[in-house]
């Protein structure tokens, strides 16, 4: 009986000390790994490089916008190209919440950019983006994203 109890204690110790554990943590939005990728996103968008923007998404990523559900990196690239062709420019992101849990995480960001109309007028646009992140081959990628348009800040 003592041997059985000691065996169970040993097995429990192995599980506790050998099985890797992850600790979910809220991280400073400004210094999060997502803000680093966000900077790459901003730079690529403002250079009008839709392929570079799409490369920041997982192959099977899903983006939800007011226009519908966009599935896959290639479709996200095409949607980004369409937004740029429609006059999108001067993108800015400000992360408000970021949370990392091992190889996954989520973030909430405020988005603002401008759209140049066919008549040359510029309209400011505002939105909030909630993103689900995965670590893919050592790099953080956007796996899911929902963008909600918002009224201009007061």
pLDDT in tens, 92-138: 999 999 999 999 999 999 999 998 888 889 999 999 999 999 998 89
Q: What pLDDT, on a 0 to 100 scale, did the predictor assign at position 24? A: 66
Residue 20 pLDDT greater than 90, yes or no: no
What whole-number distance in Å separates Cα of residue 142 and Cα of residue 118?
32
Model confidence, pTM? 0.81
Task: Output 81 or 115, whichever has higher pLDDT.
Answer: 81
Q: Which of 106, 84, 109 is nearest to 96 (CA)?
A: 109
Give the tens place of pLDDT for each residue, 49-75: 999 999 999 999 999 999 999 999 999
CA dihedral sign of residues 59, 89, 107, 20: positive
| 3-class SS of residue 12 | helix
* All domains of the chain in start order, with CATH: 24-150 (3.10.450.50)
Sequence-separated (6 or more) residues with CB below 8 Å from residue 125: 88, 112, 113, 114, 115, 149
Task: Give residue-wise pLDDT tens across range 24-42.
Answer: 678 888 889 999 999 999 9
Residues in the chain, overall count: 154
Taking residues 80-100, report their average pLDDT. 94
- Residue from 53, 121, 110, 129 nearest 87 by CA: 121
């Amino acid at each position: 009986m003592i041997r059985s109890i000691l065996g169970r204690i040993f097995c429990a110790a192995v599980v506790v000390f050998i099985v890797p554990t992850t600790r979910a943590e809220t991280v400073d939005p400004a210094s999060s790994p997502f803000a680093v990728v966000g900077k790459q996103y901003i730079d690529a968008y403002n250079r009008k490089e839709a392929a570079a923007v799409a490369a920041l998404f997982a192959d099977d990523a899903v983006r939800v916008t007011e226009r519908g559900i966009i599935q896959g990196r290639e479709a996200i690239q095409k949607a980004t190209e369409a937004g740029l062709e429609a006059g999108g420019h001067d993108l800015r992101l400000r992360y408000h919440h970021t949370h990392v849990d091992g190889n996954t995480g989520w973030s909430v960001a405020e988005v603002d950019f401008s759209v140049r109309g066919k008549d040359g007028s510029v309209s400011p646009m505002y939105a909030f983006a909630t993103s689900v992140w995965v670590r893919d081959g050592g790099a953080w990628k956007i796996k899911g994203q929902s963008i909600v348009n918002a009224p201009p800040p007061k």
